[in-house]
Amino acid sequence: MYYAQATDQFNMVAHKLMIFFGIIMCIFGLIGNILNVCVFAIWSRSRKKINRYSSSHRTSNSSLYLLASSVANLIIISYPLLTRILLDGYQYRVTRTNVLILCKFRYYALHTFDLISLTCICMATYDRYLLSSRKVRLRQMSARRQRTKLSILFIIVLVGLHSIPLIIYYDVSNTGQCEIFPIEYSYYYLYVV
């Protein structure tokens, strides 16, 4: 009897904390990522060359990657985090009628935009490494602005295609939770991805 009451109290505290800290994370995350988008949008604009030795197209490539990463993070905070607050904080149950929005698309968006953000940060780091190298050959390997945009588009398409099985395999369990049902894909998702 005592353990059941303690478990109920623990669950109630966990739900209250999820609501409180989830909303705080959402507010500050949205503000921070909107500011990041503004800063990186300004930095990624084409600048006129100051002199003939400066190459302005190479100064803004990493800011394009970071802009794409910030937009992806903004999407992660605005959709998957808000639905997490709704599902876990307010104990809203997923049913067969809302499974597409609250289960399948939520995990697709979370997985896709999380990987896009991570990949763009890695590409920005790699671009900065190339530009700061002492070797001329490595500095010349840094992509031009148009190739950087194509690289970002390629990353978005590739990660979006890679995440399609999440829409197919996520479904609602008998307890109202979103779960991956084929056990083979859940192993792949948990250990490989």
User: Measured between alpha carbons, how far is 117 from 8 in angstroms, rounded to an integer?
Assistant: 37
> Which fold, 2-44+57-192?
Rhopdopsin 7-helix transmembrane proteins (1.20.1070)
User: Measured between alpha carbons, how far is 170 from 166 in angstroms, rounded to an integer?
Assistant: 6
CA angle 118, 124, 128 (to 5 degrees): 145
193 residues of the chain, pLDDT tens digit each:
677 788 888 888 888 888 899 899 999 999 999 999 999 999 888 665 555 555 544 456 899 999 999 999 999 999 988 888 888 888 787 777 887 888 889 999 999 999 999 999 999 999 999 888 888 888 888 878 889 999 999 999 999 999 999 999 888 888 777 888 888 888 888 887 7
Confirm if 88 and 18 have CB atoms less than 8 A apart: yes
| Domain range list for the chain | 2-44+57-192
Residue 94, Cβ density class (10 Å: 0-12 exposed, 13-18 middle, ≥19 buried) = buried
Stated pTM of the model: 0.83
